[in-house]
Amino acid sequence: MLPARGPDSPSGHPEILRIVAPNPGPMTLTGTNTYLVDENPAYVVDPGPADERHVAAVRAEAERRGGLDGILLTHSHADHSAASEMLGAAVVDAGPFQRIPTPGHAEDHVCFVRDGVCFSGDLILGEGSTFVPPDGGSLVAYLQSLRRIAELDLELICPGHGPFVTDPHAKVREYLEHRMEREQKLVAALERGERSRARLLDAAWDDVPEEMRPAAAVVMEAHLEKLQVEGRLPDDLRD
């Protein structure tokens, strides 16, 4: 995990400014990435959590850019959206961006794309993998969303957490392969006759640190739900 940093811009894109919220953790990495885009006035993508220090930093940078014309939200999770009311600007559907529905991590998840740059929210992170809960999320929808983004001509991904992604197609391919590798390990364990959820987790998420096992267990349920939808899940699983 990279250390937290001050406001910065991706190489070749001075119109984009990233401000990292002070909410680091296993799920948020160094913190939520808030983006200011353009100037006179600017748009903010994912204003972040309701943290006064973060909101003050976003507001100050917005003033340097001539104020805010609108707020765009990739999804409604609080670590991305809670600061909206504190900033005092209107939430808009798309502004100057293409708005692409990308459900999976959340039912209301979208990405914003313009000029080869994708603001990906939690669909794609700068490092690690995305949390896909079965309650409110969908692995089937998530994989479809990744494939939708893979079809775009992108040069840069500005993720909701973690560093900028400068090889978007390689990252999307990595994400798809990662999910399929997990599924293959899970299916192999089921085919061996394993029915205990705890042992299925051991088999398919054997490389996950202990502190991330609860999150991995939730993601496993999303994989099991996908297998059930596809008619590939045995009906005799147990805890």
Average pLDDT over residues 9-15: 97
Contact 97, 72 (CB under 8 A): yes
- Percentage of the chain modeled with pLDDT above 70: 98
Report the distance separating Cα 96 and Cα 34, nearest Å: 17
Token match 């392969």: residue? Answer: 177
Report the distance separating Cα 48 and Cα 236, nearest Å: 42
Report the greatest alpha carbon distance in the chain: 62
Tokens of residue 105, six digits: 């991590």
What pLDDT score was predicted for residue 5?
65
Contact 156, 171 (CB under 8 A): no
Report the distance separating Cα 146 and Cα 118, nearest Å: 12
Q: What's 161's DSSP letter?
A: B
Superfamily of domain 16-168: Ribonuclease Z/Hydroxyacylglutathione hydrolase-like (3.60.15.10)
pLDDT higher than threshold 90 for residue 1? no
- Percentage of the chain modeled with pLDDT above 90: 90
What are the structural domain ranges in the chain?
Answer: 16-168
State pLDDT tens for residues 170-226: 999 999 999 999 999 999 999 999 999 999 999 999 999 998 999 999 999 999 999
Contact 109, 125 (CB under 8 A): no
For 122-235, strand residue ranges (E) read 156-159
